Amino acid sequence: MSLIIYQVDAFTKQVFKGNPAAICFLSAFPDDEVMQAVAREMNLAETAFLVELGVANWQLRWFTPVSEVDLCGHATLASAHLMYELGKVPPDSTIRFQTKSGELRVVQAHNGLLEMDFPEEPIMRQIPGELLEMAIGAHSLFCGMNRMDAFVEISSEEKLRVLNPDMRAIAELPVRGLIVTAAAKTEGLDFVSRFFAPQLNIPEDPVTGSAHCCLAPYWAKKLGKTRMTARQVSPRGGNVEVELKAGRVLLRGEAVTVMKAELMY
């Protein structure tokens, strides 16, 4: 059997930047074991599998190399970019994705960016900082958790950029991953972040859309604004525009197609 797979770099307009995702269009979902094996073979943060349900209406599932996940921003952005580019949806249509996190919608914004409509994932409670500070090797200003991730704010963008966390300690946390953030010093940005998920075989994710569903409401409250520009300062890096709107987070970004391949199995 064979499977056509595309690779798209999301939250960037340059190849080899942003966060790469593999995209597979299917007539029907195969067994979960097959999709997991494909994701493991691709060895990217996420591989997206899509099945068409109707006009601009698709079922979407995401797999890391080790497990299926409930929410993924960059692979959703990558999927939408490719669908518009390949003509799989009508131009200027709203794409509806049916996912484990409910219906997610993507449109082409007026400024040329793709705009994703995602649920807020706010911090549910503050937690003691000792374990998280030991894991990242830095003092915290705030530590908390939402339903998926642990969350740490530290004192500066400079410290965030040079952070060298203990991946073994992070992997032992009972969460999907760890968001570390700081107020931005770079002109034109409001906040910066990094995301670590060795639990999912992703030591550092290049750009994490779902993490911004937590970052956006946190920084909106701190900065007193609902529309912000963020950057995930991983080695590959990528920009994310965020806007809070009626309990949802609008995530805006770009993407670029990198390659098309045929997987034989």
pTM (global) more than 0.75: yes
Nearest 5°: CA angle at 165, between 195 and 206? 30
* pLDDT value, residue 1: 82
Instruction: Give mean pLDDT, residues 73-78.
Output: 98
**Tokens representing residue 212 in the block:** 């911004």
Q: What are the tens digits of pLDDT across the range 159-169?
A: 999 999 999 99
- In terms of DSSP bridges, do strands 57-63 and 95-99 run parallel, antiparallel, or are they unpaired? parallel
* pLDDT value, residue 88: 97
* pLDDT value, residue 54: 96
Q: What are the tens digits of pLDDT across the range 171-212?
A: 999 999 999 999 999 999 999 999 999 999 999 999 999 999
- Residue from 33, 41, 46, 68 carrying the catalytic annotation: 46
- Would the pLDDT of 252 be above 90? yes
46 is catalytic: yes
Amino acid making up residue 151: F
Say if CB 110 and CB 92 are below 8 A apart: no
Helix H or strand E segment including 95: strand 95-99
| Rounded-to-10 torsion of CA 71, 213, 240, 72 | 0
Return mean pLDDT, the chain.
97
* pLDDT value, residue 23: 98
Task: With CA atoms as reference, report the closest residue to 31 among 80, 73, 68, 72.
Answer: 68
- Would the pLDDT of 111 be above 90? no
pLDDT band at residue 257 using 50, 70 and 90 as cut-offs: very high
* pLDDT value, residue 91: 87
Say if CB 217 and CB 191 are below 8 A apart: no
Domains assigned to the chain: 2-119+251-264 (3.10.310.10), 125-242 (3.10.310.10)
* pLDDT value, residue 128: 95
Instruction: Give mean pLDDT, residues 36-47.
Output: 97
Q: What are the tens digits of pLDDT across the range 139-160?
A: 999 999 999 999 999 999 999 9
Q: What are the tens digits of pLDDT across the range 83-105?
A: 999 999 998 899 999 999 999 99
- Would the pLDDT of 110 be above 90? no
* pLDDT value, residue 28: 97
